[in-house]
Amino acid sequence: MGGGNNQYDLIVIGSGPGGYTAALHAAKLGAKTALIEKADVGGVCLNWGCIPTKAILHSAALYQQTKNARRYGISVDGVTANYPGVVKFSRQTVTRLVKGLTGLIEKSGIDLIRGAAVLAEPTVIDVKLNAPDVDGAVSRRLSAKHLILATGGAARGLPGVAFDGEKVISSREAIVQDQVPARLMIVGAGAIGLEFAEIYATFGAKVTVVEMLDRVLPLEDEEVSAVVRTALLKKKIKIHTGTMMKSLAETADGLSCQLAPVAGGDPLELSVDQVLVAIGVGPVSEGMGLESAGVATDHGFISVDEHLRTSAAGVYAIGDVTGAPQLAHAASAKGIYAVEHALGKTDNRFKGDWIPGAVFTHPQVASVGRTEAALTETGTAYKVGRFPFSASGKAVAEGEIAGFVKVLLCPETGKLLGAHIVGHNASELITSLTLAATHGLTGAQIMQSIHTHPTLSEAIPEAVGDALGLGIHV
């Protein structure tokens, strides 16, 4: 396929989980592919997001477990945390995975071009190379039959509170800073905000979380939010929901934060050493020539149709730059789909109905499908089933009894409408429910599938059984 040095079947801009997955899939399907990356291979997820945070969270969990080990008959004296070592382990994890991924990309025959791309025409791009190439050229013009935009996202700031990289930071700085702030305020109680709350509280910071909406993890099931809130409070994390951060001033005592209840009432002033803003992720789409190439955007997010095509012929967009759900696996799934559609392998719509999400706090949260609130809002009937981990043999044996599995079934078809888990390893447990939902299995079929004993996963057929009036241990 393809021909000429600068002509490709497919060009992918951005090597995050969306872009690199798309490029690898295209190469497997025999397409002559170029992957353009201006910064780090692996994008935000691998370098600044999913992976480094999970490495730090692993250290946090290990630290906590070791401190609690006496309960399980293990004596460990003098347990201390060396936070620079924690960050070092996290960065080593990233380095190892980036090296592996870069090798995989190069081995697959993809042209990995390091530089910043702008669109000259819909499927013609100019790349400003990060370093001159062997001929001394500093830029290259490339063209392709199809282009995939996978340029990702970046942390949004608070109006009037600029990031300075030291006192007011985003997750990007938090991931690499190797000191734990004594007093930290986190603005935003979504997944990123709470994962850092977990990290810093475990390593000794006094953490305050401020959230504009009325609960932590406001998009999750309400009962799930309540369990997480209790767990955060137990860690001595202070939580102000229904509260806005109004302004910030430097004082002799650090930063003075003015907070105001959304519903009105007395403002609150808090002194902290650092503020981490985690209120959401905006698109990386500016200055790329999108408008002149005819690629429509909405508040910077690239608009796509059900086939992930943009408004410009031959141009697709995937991942964070297209908006919610801003998750790595959503970006990858879209990358695979866009390649298949571009290469004529499918004409079905992109099916993104069952994309799970997870929050790696302790206990973890994971969900797929709709919440009770969303079903109620649309007047959709449902049956609910729950199973608490306090009734699970494996959870009790591991001292991980917080949380539950909750399923929402359609009363007519018996199929899943939503599933919500809060508890140990929820991020792994959600997978079988996602599989069941994706393939339209009924609650009865889920129960027919025999689950290993003793495992946390036994809570799944139990919760389904509860919804059907057939639970064994509830």
Specify the residue, 17 or 388, whose C-beta has the smaller distance to ligand FAD: 17
Contacting residue, 10, 17, 60, 279, with ligand FAD by CB under 6 A: 17
Positions 186 through 225 that interact with ligand FAD (CB under 6 A)? 192
Specify the residue, 38 or 370, whose C-beta has the smaller distance to ligand FAD: 38
Tally of CB atoms within 10 A around 404: 24
Nearest to 447 by CA among 434, 430, 433, 426: 433
Q: Select from 36-44, 63-71, 180-188, 431-439 the region that touches ligand FAD (CB under 6 A).
A: 36-44
Rounded Cα–Cα distance for residues 467 and 124 (Å): 54
Rounded Cα–Cα distance for residues 188 and 292 (Å): 35
Contacting residue, 45, 147, 209, 459, with ligand FAD by CB under 6 A: 45
Specify the residue, 248 or 331, whose C-beta has the smaller distance to ligand FAD: 331
Binding-residue total with ligand FAD (CB under 6 A):
38
Q: Does 33 bind ligand FAD (CB under 6 A)?
A: no
CB–CB of 118/131 below 8 Å? Answer: no
Catalytic positions are 453
Structure-block tokens of residue 36 = 């353009």
Rounded Cα–Cα distance for residues 276 and 196 (Å): 9
Rounded Cα–Cα distance for residues 49 and 282 (Å): 14
Q: Select from 145-153, 158-166, 250-258, 391-399 the region that touches ligand FAD (CB under 6 A).
A: 145-153
Q: 3-state DSSP call for residue 465?
A: helix
Give the distance from CA 170 to its chain's centroid: 15
Contacting residue, 12, 50, 189, 194, with ligand FAD by CB under 6 A: 50
Rounded Cα–Cα distance for residues 411 and 259 (Å): 45
Q: 3-state DSSP call for residue 139?
A: strand
Q: How far apart are CB 402 and ligand FAD at their closest, in Å?
A: 20
Q: Does 90 bind ligand FAD (CB under 6 A)?
A: no
Q: Does 120 bind ligand FAD (CB under 6 A)?
A: no
Q: Does 14 bind ligand FAD (CB under 6 A)?
A: yes
- What x-and-dash track marks residues 263-302 binding ligand FAD by CB under 6 A? ---------------------x---x--------------
Q: Select from 13-21, 102-110, 232-240, 378-386 the region that touches ligand FAD (CB under 6 A).
A: 13-21
Nearest to 450 by CA among 460, 441, 442, 440: 460
Contacting residue, 12, 49, 370, 385, with ligand FAD by CB under 6 A: 49
Specify the residue, 172 or 235, whose C-beta has the smaller distance to ligand FAD: 172
* 244 φ, ψ (degrees, to nearest 5): -115, 145
Contacting residue, 87, 97, 116, 405, with ligand FAD by CB under 6 A: 116
Q: Does 36 bind ligand FAD (CB under 6 A)?
A: yes
Which residue in this structure is represented by tokens 């808090």? 270
- What x-and-dash track marks residues 352-391 binding ligand FAD by CB under 6 A? --------x-------------------------------
Which H or E run contains 377? helix 372-377
Q: How far apart are the first and last CA of the chain?
A: 59
Contacting residue, 9, 211, 220, 320, with ligand FAD by CB under 6 A: 320
Residues near 21 by beta carbon (within 8 Å), at least 6 away in sequence: 331, 332, 335, 336
Contacting residue, 39, 374, 384, 468, with ligand FAD by CB under 6 A: 39
Q: How far apart are CB 53 and ligand FAD at their closest, in Å?
A: 5
Q: Select from 147-155, 209-217, 395-403, 416-424 the region that touches ligand FAD (CB under 6 A).
A: 147-155
Q: How far apart are CB 374 and ligand FAD at their closest, in Å?
A: 21
Q: Select from 45-53, 91-99, 268-276, 434-442 the region that touches ligand FAD (CB under 6 A).
A: 45-53
Strand intervals (E) in 299-342 = 301-302, 315-317
Specify the residue, 52 or 471, whose C-beta has the smaller distance to ligand FAD: 52
Residues near 5 by beta carbon (within 8 Å), at least 6 away in sequence: none
Q: How far apart are CB 77 and ligand FAD at their closest, in Å?
A: 34
CB–CB of 329/434 below 8 Å? Answer: no
Q: How far apart are CB 126 and ligand FAD at their closest, in Å?
A: 10
Q: How far apart are CB 320 and ligand FAD at their closest, in Å?
A: 4
Nearest to 217 by CA among 358, 319, 318: 358
Q: How far apart are CB 286 and ligand FAD at their closest, in Å?
A: 9
Q: Select from 26-34, 146-154, 293-301, 432-440 the region that touches ligand FAD (CB under 6 A).
A: 146-154
Nearest 10 degrees: Cα torsion 189, 354, 328, 213? -10
Rounded Cα–Cα distance for residues 469 and 88 (Å): 50
Residue 452 DSSP class: P
392-396: long-range contacts (C-beta < 8 A, 24 or more apart)? 392/454, 392/456, 392/458, 392/459, 392/462, 393/453, 393/454, 393/458, 394/454, 394/455, 394/456, 394/458, 395/423, 395/424, 395/456, 395/459
- Interface with ligand FAD by CB under 6 A: which residues? 13-19, 36-40, 43-45, 48-50, 53, 116-117, 150-153, 171, 192, 284, 288, 319-321, 326-329, 331, 360
